[in-house]
């Protein structure tokens, strides 16, 4: 089990829920947002949700984890958090997803529209 005890964000999670967490990324200026994957490859987000950076379809803050269906079943390889904020995630299969603030087209989707859900970005990555 990962030690998430130092993050107040997880204070409401049961020990059973915490035992299922395989990978986690806590981010935000105060460590107040998080994405995590479970042993069953389900992906969840919780926290402040500035500019939709949790990828859950809205900008509402959540103290209870919300499942991100489009990412469930994917094996997460890396996750990056940028100012705005925005998030870019890569899978072990070479897929790249981005969401959040996009005023400067930092999501790589050819627009400047913010995205509140993960959108797959076209890349030439294959099993990288």
Which CATH number is 80's domain given?
2.20.25
pTM above 0.85, yes or no: yes
Does 27 fall in a domain? yes
Residue 128 lies in a domain: no
Angstrom distance (rounded) from CA 120 to CA 12: 31
Any idea which residue has 């959540």 for tokens? 62
Predicted confidence (pLDDT) per residue in 92-110, tens digit: 999 999 999 999 999 999 9
Asked if the structure places residue 44 within a domain, the reply is yes
Q: Which two tokens stand for residue 59?
A: 């900008």
Sheet holding 96-100, edge to edge: 76-82, 86-91, 96-100, 115-121
pLDDT score for 125: 61
Residue 127, domain member (yes or no):
no
1 in any annotated domain: no
Mean pLDDT score of the chain, rounded to an integer? 89
What is the 8-class DSSP label of residue 4?
-
Residue 49 lies in a domain: yes
**Using CA atoms, how far apart are residues 35 and 117, in angstroms rounded to an integer?**
13
Q: Please state the domain count of the chain.
A: 1
Residue 85 lies in a domain: yes
Residue 84 belongs to what domain range?
8-122
> Rounded to an integer, what distance in angstroms lies between the CA atom of residue 16 and that of residue 20?
7
- Is the separation of the CB atoms in 54 and 64 below 8 Å? no
pLDDT surpasses 80 at 50: yes
Residue 91 lies inside a defined structural domain of this protein: yes
């Amino acid at each position: 089990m990962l030690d998430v005890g130092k993050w107040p964000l997880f204070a409401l999670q049961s020990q059973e829920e915490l035992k299922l967490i395989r990978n986690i990324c806590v981010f935000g200026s105060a460590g107040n947002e998080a994405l995590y994957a479970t042993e069953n490859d389900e992906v969840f987000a919780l926290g402040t949700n500035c500019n939709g950076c949790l990828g859950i379809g809205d900008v509402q803050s959540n103290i209870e984890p919300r499942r991100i269906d489009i990412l469930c079943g994917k094996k997460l390889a890396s996750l990056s958090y940028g100012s705005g904020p925005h998030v870019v995630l890569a899978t072990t299969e070479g897929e790249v997803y981005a969401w959040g603030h996009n005023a400067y087209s930092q999501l790589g989707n050819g627009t400047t529209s913010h995205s509140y859900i993960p959108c797959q970005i076209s890349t030439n990555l294959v099993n990288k």
